[in-house]
Amino acid sequence: MHPYSKADARAFWSRSVTRAFDAANLIPGGEPLIRRNDRVISAGSCFASNLVPYLEREGFVYHRTEKRNPSLSKAPGENLGYDSFSAAYGNVYTARQMLQLFRRACGEFVPKEDRWLSGDTIVDPFRPGLRYRARSSQEFDLLTAQHLRLTRQAFEEATVLIFTLGLTEGWVSSEDGAAYPACPGVIAGTFDSRRHIFLNQGVSDVVSDLDALIAGLRGINPALRLILTVSPVPLVATATEQHVLHATIYSKSVLRVAAEEISRRHANVRYFPAYEIVTGPQAPEAFFMPDRRNVSEDAVRTVMTAFISHCEQAGADRQREAVSPASSSHSVEFLADRITAAECDEAMLDEAR
């Protein structure tokens, strides 16, 4: 007898990958990932935003603290991912960026380079793609303060945070280490090699950042549970001198190892294997689009089916809760519109008086 004699079928490649592969079996049983009464928030790279519609369709509460005011819904939506997550932080690609977001939200870090002037608008270097920019420093300060307050509120009120790690590469400020979501000059701002330096995190860097993040989160929300995932989406480009494929595998490997270490080290932190489901040798070619970078809808569906199978089953009443109530704002808006239209017609009557 030896240890493999007693091992479960899922420990053997031939029995659980070559044959009878089921993505749901990658996750050990136990407590549900998400419970019916959880308030879920999330952050991460582009892949992370794919998860939200699935969660909501299954009747889970995706907790949003910063939402577009419904009475202004006729205007175009925000750019990129700013409307996609619990607050308007947009895509968060690195552990460093996530830790920074937390620290800024808690007032623990104020970046020195915190705004860029662009014509008659002010750009947020940490949300450079925002469509609706501030027109003055005063407005910028107000909007940023509100955003960070609502971000902190999301961290405080959530019961589960799903964080998808995307990258190890990033650009930071040489002055204070502030992490930019995009290299300055790509979306907005101007690149300055003296102020903006390249950082490619290793395992210890990512682990250190996640440790600090978790410690900070525990300080304001001790019961918060974390689910870590690694995005399967390869890098768009690398700033190393390596081939982008080489750089991608390095990044994803670092993130995967760091996620494993963190989940082993901390109670209430679990790792969900979205990365393995999409990129493992068992995955069909169709899990990536022809560009071999973007993940297909089939892949997302497979990941989420596996994820949901390990969540507490959502009942019908929960699905009803998840449906947005008819907005009272729209009714009031209709009323206002009818009154102004009626008064224009009234003006006709007035001429006759």
In the complex, which residues of this chain contact other proteins (CB under 8 A)? 69-72, 74-76, 121, 131-136, 138-139, 142-143, 146, 327-329, 331-348, 350-351
The smaller minimum CB distance to other proteins, of residues 197 and 339, is found at 339
Residue number with CB closer to other proteins (112 or 131)? 131
Structure tokens at 104: 């800024």
Q: How far is the CB of 71 from other proteins (least distance, A)?
A: 4
Q: Which residues of 217-245 are buried (b: 16+ CB within 10 A; e: fewer)?
A: beeebeebbbbbbbbbbbbeebeeeeeee
Q: Which of 104, 66, 221 is nearest to 156 (CA)?
A: 221
Structure tokens at 30: 């136990």
Residue pair 167/206 in contact by the 8 Å Cβ criterion: no
**Nearest distance in Å: CB 117, other proteins:** 15
| CB-neighbour burial class of residue 184 (10 A; exposed 0-12, middle 13-18, buried 19+) | buried
Instruction: Pick the closer one to other proteins by CB: 14 or 340.
Output: 340
Per the CB < 8 A criterion, the answer to whether 118 and 128 are in contact is no
Strand partners, 260: none
| 44/92 Cα distance (integer angstroms) | 5
Query: How far is residue 83's CA from residue 89's CA, in Å, rounded to a whole number?
Result: 8
* Shortest Å distance, C-beta 332 to other proteins: 5
Comparing CB distances to other proteins, the nearer of 127 and 310 is 127
Residue placing its CB nearer to other proteins in the complex, 85 or 271: 85
Tokens of 4: 């493999």
Amino acid at 260: E
CB of 285 vs other proteins, minimal distance in Å: 42
Name the minimum Å distance from CB 119 to other proteins: 12
- Which of 86, 168 has the CB closer to other proteins? 86
| Residues comprising the chain, all counted | 353
Is 178 exposed, middle or buried, given 0-12, 13-18 or 19+ CB atoms closer than 10 A? buried
Nearest residue (CB) to other proteins, 28 versus 76: 76
Least Å distance between CB 126 and other proteins?
16
* Least distance between other proteins and beta carbon 218 (Å): 30
